[in-house]
Amino acid sequence: MSFSVELLDIKDVALLRPKKFFDTRGYFLEIYSTRDYAAAGVECVFVQENQSLSIKSGTIRGLHFQRPPAAQAKLVRVIRGSIFDVAVDLRIGSRTFGRWCATKLTAETAEQLFIPRGFAHGFCTLEPDTEVAYKVDSLYSPVCDGGLRCDDPILNIAWPVSPAAAIISEKDRLLPLFKDFESPFKFSNS
C-alpha cells in the first residue's frame, strides 16, 4: 500500500498519509489508487474534483454537506499551504452524533482526509494563498446543498482563529445553527 491510515476521534473519518519516494530530482507519491483505497475501506467512486484558493490565512470555508440523494463522501488534500480540517458527524443514531474531529493537512506532507457521507465539512486556512482540492463521490446538486454555521455554540469547534478575525463568506454566515437542524442522515453499522 502506498500510504498509511490513521482513524481520527470519529472512527469513520480517516487520515491517509502517502509515502513519498525521494531521489535527486525531488519526490514522487501516489495520490490515489482505487485498489489501495478500497483495501483501506475507502470504497467510493469519485465523480467530481473541486479546488479552492483562499488568499488570506484565517479563512473559514464551511461547514458544508450535500443532503440525500446527492450526499457526498470527500477526499480532501492541500495543494499549497495548510489547513485545519474539520468533520462533524450528522448521522442520527451514531454515538458521535454532533461531535467534530479535526486534523492539520499540509501541502508539504500531502496527507488526505477521508470524510464519509453524513458529515459536514469545513476548514480554516493556516497560511496565505492556500489551495485545497477534494474529490467527491456524488455530483454537486444545488437543491441538496446544505450547511451549518462554523461558529455554532453547540458544536463549539476550536478553530485556530478568533470569530472576530475569521474571514467567512456571507452565505456561510447565514447558515443555520445545529439546534435548528434536522438531519437527513442515519447511522448504519453496515
Residue 37 half-sphere exposure toward CB, CA atoms < 13 A: 19
140 an active-site residue? no
Q: Which of 57, 22, 49, 53 lies closest to 159 in space, CA to CA?
A: 57
- Number of residues assigned to the chain: 190
Q: Which of 69, 114, 115, 112 lies closest to 90 in space, CA to CA?
A: 115
Give me 10's grid cell.
Answer: 470519529
64 an active-site residue? yes
The one catalytic residue in 32, 64, 121, 140 is: 64
Write the CB contacts of 48 (distance below 8 Å, at least 6 apart in sequence).
Answer: 135, 136, 138, 139, 140
Which residues are marked as active site?
64, 134
